[in-house]
Structures are given as C-alpha cells and as structure tokens.
Chain A
Amino acid sequence: MAIPRFWREIPSRYNLLGSKCGNCGALDFPPRSVCPRCGRRSVGKMQKFRLTGKGKVVTYTVIHDAPKDFDMMKPYVLGIVELDEGVRLTSQIIDVEPGEVKIGMPVEVAFRKLGEEGDAGVIHYGYKFRPVT
C-alpha cells in the first residue's frame, strides 16, 4: 500500500479513532462523515471518538493461504472483534495458538507491525488484538 494511503489513516490504525454521531450518539469505526442510521441529519455533526480497545471475538478463521505480504506470518488467526462500545472491526488475533481461539473470547488491542513497503520500504504499524490475560 502506497505510503500516503496508509499514512492518512494512521489516527484510526494507531489509536482506534472512530466517530460518534452528534444526532443519535451511535459509534462507528473507522470514522464516517455520514451516520448510516441518521443520513443527512448527521451531516456536520459527526465527532471523533476514541475507542478503548477492549472487546470479544465474534468469529475467526485461521489463514493458511496468505497474500504475499503476509506469507511469513502464516498460519495466522484473523477475527472479527466486537468492542465493548458495540463497534466491530477485522483484525489479526495474536499471542494465542490457533487451536485455542474461541468465539466470545475477551481480547484487547495491541500495537504491532502490520506489514512493510517491499524489502526496504517504510513499516506499517497498527492494531492487532490479543487475549486479555
């Protein structure tokens, strides 16, 4: 992924910055400029909102056939995590054996290397989730 393309999403990928609708109060991650529930009534009223990074696994898979950039990590666990605030996101689940991941397992955010721009390019960092110890 090109440097500016990754860079412009850093606030959300580093700090779980989402948005809160000024009309209905619902949260979204990543941040949206229009609330999917309120439509035009939310335009101009969306505020930034930082999520706590605690949640649970809703579903998961173990990836064996990985894209080139993730080849060194396979097999790895990928999950959909529902944060305590009710928002869902897709993330790797780390620091756990693939056979030990369970639906409903409590997890928390960790700051990790996601990938890099070729052999000598910049490193992309962002969130992964690990079991709460």
Chain B
Amino acid sequence: MTVRPVSVIGIGETQFGELWDRSFRELGIEAGLRAISDAKIVAEQVDALYVGNMSAGKFIDQEHVSTLVADYAGLADQHLPTVRVEGGGACGAIAIQQAAMSIVSGVHDIVVVGGAEKMTDVGDLEAMQILSSTTDQEWESVFGATFAGLYAMMARRHMFEHGTTREQLAAVAVKNHKHGALNPNAQFQKEITMDMVLQAPKVAEPLGLFDCAPLSDGAAALVLCAKEKARKFTDTPIDLIGTGQASDFIAVHDRRDLTTIDATVIAGKRAFHAAKRTPADVRLAEVHDNFTISEIMAIEDLRFFPKGKGGYATEDGETALNAKVTINPSGGLKARGQPVGATGVAQAVEIVRQLRTEAGKRQVSGAEIGLTHTLGGTGGTAVVHIFARGD
C-alpha cells in the first residue's frame, strides 16, 4: 500500500439475523446506501462496486449479484464496473483488497465494497451443506466430512498437542456473546453461560451448537477513497495501512500442522510488513470465529499469543473488551452473526467504527490501529487487513 494510500470514508451495515422479511438485494442496497450516506458522497462519485458474496447461486439461485445490487441501488444508468468476488468465507475481505488495489493502481478514486449473504431462504441442513462446499468435495465431503467436523478435528488435535481444554473453547463463545450483547446490530444480543455452551447439543465433538457461528442474513459496506482525497469527505478518515492474503492446501489433511492455519500466519506477516507494525502494536482485532477453535488458532497464528496459549489467554480474560487485546468487540461471527459474504466487510466496519470512537458501549479505549482476520473454507484462504486512524 505504499504506491497510493487508501482510506475508508464511509461505513454501513444492516441488522444481522434471520431476516425473513428482507431479500438479498434489499440487504445489499441498505448497507451500500448507508455507507454512501456516511461518506457524504453522491452516487455519481462512485467509480466501481466490488461485492463479496460466497454462494448466492446456491442460497437463492442468483448469480451476477454485483450488477443486481448496483441496479437496485439506482446505479444502472451510471453503468458502473461491478465485480463479484468469491473466496469462501474470505470473499468480503478479498473484495476489500481488490477494491483497494484498484485505487492503489490509480484506476479508481472512490470505490464501494459490499458484502452480503442471504442464508435463511434454504433449510438449515441445506445451508450447512452449502457452507461445506468450500471444503474439498472429492476428498473430504464425499467421505462424510462436514464443515464443523473438519474444524472439530483441528480442535481435537489442538487439545491433544497443546492441552487446550473444552472449557477454553467454550470461553470464546461466552466472551463473544458478552460483546454481542453490546452491539445493536448483532444477531444474538444475549449473554450465555459456560454451562449453556458445555450442555448444548453436540454438532461434531468436541464442538457443540454454541461453538458454531449461526446461519444469518445481513450485509455490510465500506466506501474506500484515495487517501489524498479523503479529507474532502470526512474529518475522520481511517487508513488501510496494510493487507495480506495467503492460500494453503484446500483439504485439512494435507496441511503441514493441524493446529496452525499457515495461511493466517503468512497473511498476517504480509499485512504487518506492509503496515510496518508488529503484533505487539495491536490491541483491537476482529478475527474469524466461525467456530470457537478458529478464534483460538487465529490469536495464536497472528502472534498475539504463543502457539498453544490462545485457549489459556481466553480463559484468563486477556481477549475481553479492553483487556490485553480486545478480540471481536462486535461479538464476532459467533454473536454478531455469519452472513458469509458480509463477514470480512462487517469486520472492517467494526474496526473503523472503533477507530472513529463511535462504538458506544463496546468502545475499545485508546486503540490507534485495528486488525481484521478472515478465513475462507477451513483455512485454505486467509486475509488480514490493518487499519489506522488517519493522520
């Protein structure tokens, strides 16, 4: 990001949840228009639209969603270039990076990035099968592997190698629900107890129902702008100071270490290098907690805590609001909700809100930089973005 720095000048988000009365296009437009209005720009100033969406083709039989959203946002006559980005759960985060690169390159000045998913128009079983389609269909799913099952096998190995406990996994869910209770847009604004997590129906042992992020509808959007023009639109631009993306073997069984997401390690290194910062500089992060074990691996792989200590740190409260490093102040995927395509963008919306000190009851005090971490599939893709308050 050294060529031409990029700032966030607008953010927008819908309610997340089981929104039976809202369609995919309504959600996408609401988030996008909120971001445009927050940026105090008019639609004619937008140069392009990038949309992160995992699987509208399967969830609502609708492909070509970037043009659909632009059209229903009233932009058809503007003939914007629109791009839909797919990359499993990381699609929204990749869309941010691609949109930023279009500004870095000088092609565009102002770009809207949206992320959206409508998951509840199909039944729960079908939705879970669609989520599983980001795994290796030929060599994992066909043998009975589920999305939760693959993460459960990483959890089991993490417990075996590092002594992580069932209670430490549960502590992630308890903490994220506590944060979600402070977020008016979260799907679950309700605290839960350790007992509720431990007693919940089993999904894939050792993971139970409360170890898994829910199925959700929702959308989020950002307006990105070339930094040199950002001050024209806002007094509080938030800069994207580093991004990193990395891939790995798609199947869990092929990976070097079952307790480490190498894609996260590498994406993190790339982002920290670009941002000229270190993990020790970060006190605020939104990480991909699609399962409780995912958050534990993420905070280790991003080097906030040593390998094997993520569960202990969580149990000791070091990742709670305003503790050593605040992880998932929004409630994370677990409590805010998991409309897959929206995830990476919603994480960025939360970090921008925090850095602008507009996060209300869940405000992290004194944070100068914030990080987002997003996974695709079971960790075959990882994306890390680092944001800082504009100077």
Asked if B129 is an interface residue, CB under 8 A from chain A, the answer is yes
Q: How far is the CB of A110 from the nearest CB of chain B, in Å? A: 13
The A/B interface has a contact count, at CB < 8 Å, of 98
* Minimal Cβ-Cβ distance residue in B for A76: B144
Residue of A nearest to B201 (CB): A64
* A90 in contact with B251 (CB, 8 Å): yes
Check if B153 sits within 8 Å of A79, measured CB to CB. yes
Q: Mark A70-93, 1 if CB is under 8 A from B, else 0.
A: 100101101110000000111110
Q: Are B142 and A64 in contact (CB under 8 A)?
A: no
Q: Which A residues, 29 to 84, have Cβ-Cβ distances below 8 Å to chain B?
A: 30, 36, 58-68, 70, 73, 75-76, 78-80
Which single residue of chain A is at the shortest CB-CB distance from B132? A67
B152 and A61 contacting across the interface, CB-CB below 8 Å: yes
Is A120 an interface position by the 8 A CB rule?
no
B157 touches A64 (CB 8 A): no
B233 lies within 8 A of chain A by Cβ: no
Closest to A29 in B: B139
B204 CB contacts on chain A under 8 angstroms: 61-65, 78
Contacts of B160 in A (CB 8 A): 59, 103
Is there contact, CB below 8 Å, between A65 and B205?
A: no
Q: Is A126 an interface residue (CB 8 A)?
A: yes
Could you tell me if B138 and A90 are in contact, using CB atoms closer than 8 angstroms? no
Q: Which residues does chain A contribute within 8 Å of B137, judged by CB atoms?
A: 1
| Chain-A contact segment, one of B213-221, B252-260, B323-331 | B252-260
Give B contacts to A, CB under 8 Å.
125, 128-129, 132, 137-146, 148-150, 152-154, 156-157, 160, 201-207, 249, 251-254, 258
Q: Say yes or no: B149 contacts A78, CB within 8 Å.
A: yes
Report if A88-B205 is in contact (Cβ < 8 Å); known contacts: A30-B139, A66-B146.
no
* Known interface pairs A30-B138, A62-B204, A80-B252; A73-B144 also in contact (CB < 8 Å): yes
In the complex with contacts A58-B258, A59-B157, A89-B253, A64-B143 CB distance below 8 A: no
Residues on the B chain within 8 Å of A36, using CB:
249
Query: Is the beta-carbon distance between A63 and B146 smaller than 8 angstroms?
Result: yes
Q: Which of chain B's residues have a CB closer than 8 A to the CB of A5?
A: 138
In the assembled complex, the Cα of A92 lies from the Cα of B252 at a distance in Å of 15
- Contact between B157 and A70, CB atoms less than 8 A apart: no
- A residues with CB within 8 A of B: 1, 5-6, 9, 30, 36, 58-68, 70, 73, 75-76, 78-80, 88-92, 98, 103, 114-115, 124, 126-128
Nearest Cβ on chain A to B283's Cβ, whole angstroms: 33
Please, how many angstroms separate the alpha-carbon atoms of A60 and B152 in the complex?
Answer: 8
Contact A68 B125 (CB under 8 A): yes
CA distance A64 to B55 in the complex (A): 25
User: Shortest beta-carbon distance, B308 to chain A, in Å?
Assistant: 16
B125 contacts A64, CB within 8 Å?
A: no
Contact between A80 and B153 (Cβ–Cβ < 8 Å)? yes
B146 partner residues in chain A, CB cutoff 8 A: 63, 65-67
Contacts A80-B258, A90-B150 known; list 15 others, CB within 8 Å.
A6-B142, A58-B253, A60-B156, A64-B203, A65-B128, A66-B146, A67-B141, A78-B145, A78-B149, A79-B153, A90-B143, A90-B252, A103-B156, A103-B160, A126-B143
- Ordered nearest first, which 8 A-B pairs have the shortest CB separation? A61-B152, A59-B157, A88-B253, A62-B205, A64-B202, A59-B153, A65-B203, A80-B253
- Residue picked from A36, A61, A79, A89, most chain B C-beta under 10 Å: A61
A89, B153: Cβ atoms closer than 8 Å? no
Contacts of A88 in B (CB 8 A): 253-254
Assembled-state Cα–Cα distance A102/B153 (Å): 12
Are B144 and A9 in contact, CB atoms less than 8 angstroms apart? no
Determine the chain A residues whose CB is within 8 A of the CB of B142 once the complex forms.
1, 6, 114-115, 124, 126
Contacts of B141 in A (CB 8 A): 67
Which chain A residue has the least Cβ–Cβ distance from B205?
Answer: A62
Give chain A residues whose Cβ lies under 8 Å from the Cβ of B145: 78, 90
Name the residue of chain B whose CB is nearest to the CB of A98: B205
Q: Which of A6, A59, A64 contacts B258 (CB 8 A)?
A: A59
- In the bound complex, CA of A99 to CA of B125 (Å): 26
Assess the B156–A59 pair: CB atoms within 8 A. Answer: yes
| Contact assessment for A58 and B144 in the assembled complex, using a CB-CB cutoff below 8 Å | no
- Whole-angstrom CA separation of A91 from B160 in the bound complex: 20
CA distance A47 to B252 in the complex (A): 24
Chain B: minimal CB distance from A7 (Å): 12
Does B252 contact A103, Cβ atoms closer than 8 Å?
no
Q: What's the Cα separation between A59 and B146 when bound, in Å?
A: 15
Q: Which of B129, B249, B258 is A67 in contact with, Cβ under 8 Å?
A: B129
Chain B's nearest CB lies how many Å from the CB of A63? 5
> In the complex, what distance in Å separates the CA atom of A66 from the CA atom of B154?
18
Alpha-carbon distance between A115 and B137 when the two chains are bound, in angstroms = 14
